[in-house]
A = this chain, B = another copy of it.
Amino acid sequence: MATTLKLIHEKGFKATTMRDIASNLNFEVANVYNYIDSKQSLLESFLDDISDEFHLSIDNIMASTYSPEEKLRSLISANIQLTASKPYEVALLMNDWRHLNGNKLKDFLKRRMDYENKVSSIITEGIKRKQFRKMDIEIATYSVLASLRWLYSKYTDRVTKLNPIEIEKQISDFIFAGIGRI
- A residues contacting B by CB (< 8 A) are 11-12, 14-15, 69, 72, 95, 98-99, 123, 126, 131-133, 135-136, 139-140, 142-147, 149-151, 154, 166-167, 170-171, 173-182
How many copies, total? 2
Closest to A95 in B: B95
Q: Are B131 and A181 in contact (CB under 8 A)?
A: yes
Choose one: B14, B175, B182; the contact of A179 (CB below 8 Å): B175
> In the assembled complex, which residues on chain B have CB atoms less than 8 Å from the CB atom of A140?
170, 174, 179
Choose one: B12, B72, B182; the contact of A176 (CB below 8 Å): B182
Given A14-B14, A15-B14, A150-B142, do A133 and B182 touch, yes or no (CB 8 Å)? no
